[in-house]
């Protein structure tokens, strides 16, 4: 980083079309960024990938070794006829195979995704960890049979397999948590494009400090009107100043959310960044319809983002329904004590029934009564408090989101239930009855139908869900149009794997209470 603060950049101006001036670098960055830059110049902090790869590699090696030793110890008293080789030979064999195991993990991308994907988490590695451990265990079994060097003890191999899956998953979670607490995990980031899309991406990044993205500001020529949730983010310079911004601020990640008419110039500025070890993310122009199931393929080197057709074959519907039945039934049984506790809390907190019922449109528009724990005061016999929204300052918020962050109708106990979405738990009964699904689009209110009429047929293709792609990507922090985009993305990309991922991420979101209203 030559020159340090002696270089000049475009100033931290407001995101309007005001003319840009120049200002010293020291007035652009905050204290955390300055500390990170100083540590990197002194060689005391490495980029995210350097630290994370080594931490995960060490975690995998230690975990696999621990699993092997556990399997050895668990069957140490078995008959010597089980294995034809001594324990020392088994240990030597494991030492030889361990590097191959780690190379397989590397080949499946278990060490490189943290620096490439901003929202990567240990849960996303589960399938690959399972694959690596299973292949490694089968390799041991097959090699033993083919060489006749040993008569494999199946319970011992199963112990090694189960312990490896468990130990590796837990150790990777701990390793990530350790690295994420250090400055090495932080990625200095700028967004190319301060228009509507660029500012939307920025607002989402700012809501997730766990991503480790230190968002410095925007690079653009003439930004649009500034959103109100961007804090102190600034305009750092023009497009042709991007290389200097990257160099002077030691940028690790550039997010391109810019519909440039001068494609050649933008490519000229972006290509050198990849040789400087900068991660470049590009928001596709039609990002609104690109869902989590989109696949990248190529035609003679031209990469295309494939959007799967919206369809739910009979087999998929049967699989989803079976998953819903077993999941909801297990949830009702396991959570019964919590249901009783909440019911008592509601009765002690305010007068009225424990449950609240409301008509909602289900699959193909068939109405059903959604079931929730009551969180509002009761105005009269069998009714919830009359809608106090009309004429209040909250009108705009309700019109945009069909809900209020600080609803004046909510009881004290009800606010706590809403914070962790515990009021939604009775919908397990709706799922068991077949009116809802564990995962799906948010159940609509009847007065939302008119607003969604252009996409209503698509939304009503599937049952509404207790949780969904929207809930794990912002909850009430997400504006209404973005919520619709997320729900359509889910419908277009549905799979059992996606449902499992959403359910697992829902637990994390609910525990944190982030984005609740």
306 occurs within a structural domain: no
Q: Which pLDDT does position 163 carry in this prediction?
A: 92
448 and 343 in one domain? Answer: yes
Domain assignment present for residue 434? The answer is yes
Task: Give the end of a domain, one of 180, 205, 238.
Answer: 180
In this structure, the answer to whether residues 107 and 26 fall within a common structural domain is: no
Q: Within this chain, do residues 131 and 214 fall inside the same structural domain, yes or no?
A: no
Out of 156, 180, 204, pick the residue that ends a domain: 180
Structure tokens at 21: 């001036």
Do 272 and 381 reside in the same domain of the chain?
no
Is 289 domain-assigned? no
Render pLDDT for 366-424 as a digit per residue (tens, 0 to 9).
Answer: 999 999 999 988 865 444 544 444 444 444 544 555 555 667 788 989 888 988 889 99
- Contact yes or no for 335/324 (Cβ under 8 A): no
Provide the token pair at 54. Answer: 């080594």
Q: DSSP string covering 57-115, please?
A: HHHHHHHHHHHHHHHHHHTTTS-TTS-SS-HHHHHHHHHHHHHHHHHHHHHTTTTTHHH
Task: Express each pLDDT in 314-356 by its tens digit.
Answer: 777 788 899 899 999 999 999 999 999 999 999 998 888 999 9
How far, in Å, CA of 111 to CA of 108, rounded? 9
Residues across the chain: 517
> 192 and 164 in one domain?
no
> The tokens of 333 are what?
């049984």
Burial of 483 (0-12, 13-18, 19+ CB in 10 A): buried
Select from 262, 283, 304 the last residue of a domain.
Answer: 283
Would you say 171 and 105 are in contact if contact means Cβ atoms under 8 Å apart?
A: no
User: Could you tell me the CATH number of the domain that includes residue 194?
Assistant: 3.40.50.20
> What is the tens place of the pLDDT at every residue in 143-182?
666 665 555 677 888 888 999 999 999 999 999 888 888 7
318 and 410 both lie in a single domain? yes
What is the average pLDDT score of the chain? 77
Same domain, 407 and 479: yes
Q: In whole angstroms, what separates CA 169 from the centre of its chain?
A: 17
Residues 329 and 248 in one domain: no
Residue 297: strand pairing partners: 304
C-alpha dihedral (293, 298, 299, 304), degrees to nearest 10 = 50
Q: Where does 75-212 have alpha helices with state H?
A: 87-107, 113-116, 126-147, 154-180, 196-206
- Would you tell me how many other CB atoms lie within 10 Å of the CB of residue 459? 22
Note whether 351 and 485 are same-domain residues: yes
Domain shared by 84 and 142, yes or no: yes
Taking only the tens place, the pLDDT of each residue in 53-63 is 899 999 999 99
Structural domain range at position 30: 4-44+184-283
Question: Has this prediction a pTM greater than 0.75?
Answer: no
Contacts of residue 30, defined as CB under 8 A and 6 or more positions apart, other chains included, come to: none
Question: Nearest 5°: CA angle at 321, between 318 and 323?
Answer: 110
Do residues 150 and 119 touch, judged by C-beta distance below 8 A? no
């Amino acid at each position: 980083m030559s020159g340090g603060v002696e270089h000049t950049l475009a100033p931290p101006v407001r995101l309007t079309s005001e003319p840009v001036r120049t200002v010293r670098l020291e007035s652009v960055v905050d204290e955390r960024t300055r500390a990170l830059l100083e540590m990197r110049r002194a060689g005391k902090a490495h980029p995210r990938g350097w630290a994370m790869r080594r931490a995960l590699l060490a975690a995998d090696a230690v975990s696999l070794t621990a699993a092997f030793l556990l399997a050895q110890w668990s069957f140490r008293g078995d008959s010597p006829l089980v294995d034809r080789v001594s324990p020392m030979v088994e240990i030597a064999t494991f030492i030889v195979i361990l590097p191959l195991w780690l190379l397989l993990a590397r080949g499946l991308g278990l060490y490189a995704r943290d620096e490439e994907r901003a929202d990567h988490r240990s849960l996303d590695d589960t399938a690959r960890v399972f694959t690596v451990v299973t292949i490694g265990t089968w390799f041991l079994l097959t090699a033993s049979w083919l060489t006749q060097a040993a008569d494999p003890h199946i319970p011992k191999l199963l112990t090694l397999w189960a312990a490896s899956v468990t130990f590796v998953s837990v150790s990777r979670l701990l390793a990530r948590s350790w690295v994420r607490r250090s400055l090495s995990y932080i990625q200095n980031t700028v967004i190319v494009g301060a228009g509507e899309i660029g500012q939307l991406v920025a607002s989402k990044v700012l809501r997730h400090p766990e991503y480790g993205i230190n968002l410095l500001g925007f690079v653009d020529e003439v930004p649009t009107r500034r959103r109100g949730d961007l804090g102190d983010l600034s305009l750092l310079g023009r497009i042709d100043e991007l290389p200097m911004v990257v160099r002077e601020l030691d940028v690790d990640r550039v997010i391109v959310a810019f519909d440039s008419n001068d494609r050649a110039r933008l490519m000229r500025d972006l290509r050198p960044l990849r040789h400087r070890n900068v991660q470049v993310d590009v928001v596709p122009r039609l990002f609104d319809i690109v869902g989590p199931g989109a696949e990248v393929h190529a035609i003679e080197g031209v990469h295309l983002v494939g959007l799967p057709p919206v369809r739910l074959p009979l087999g998929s519907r049967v699989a989803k329904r079976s998953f819903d039945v077993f999941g909801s039934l297990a949830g009702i049984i396991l959570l019964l004590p919590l249901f009783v506790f909440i019911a008592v809390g509601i009765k002690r907190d305010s007068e009225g029934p424990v449950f609240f019922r409301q008509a909602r449109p289900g699959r193909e528009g068939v109405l059903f009564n959604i079931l929730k724990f009551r969180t509002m005061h009761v105005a009269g016999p069998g009714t919830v408090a009359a809608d106090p929204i009309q004429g209040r300052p909250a009108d705009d918020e309700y019109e945009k989101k069909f809900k209020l962050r600080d609803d004046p109708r909510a009881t004290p106990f009800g606010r706590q239930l809403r914070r962790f979405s515990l009021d939604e738990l009775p919908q397990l009964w709706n799922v068991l009855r077949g009116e809802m699904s564990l995962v799906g689009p948010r159940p609509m209110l009847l007065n939302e139908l008119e607003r969604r009429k252009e996409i209503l047929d698509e939304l009503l293709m599937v049952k509404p869900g207790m949780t969904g792609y929207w809930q794990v990507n912002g909850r009430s922090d997400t504006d209404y149009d973005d919520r619709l985009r997320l729900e359509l993305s889910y419908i277009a990309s549905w799979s059992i794997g996606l449902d499992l991922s959403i359910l697992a991420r829902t637990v994390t979101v609910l525990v944190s209470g982030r984005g609740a209203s």
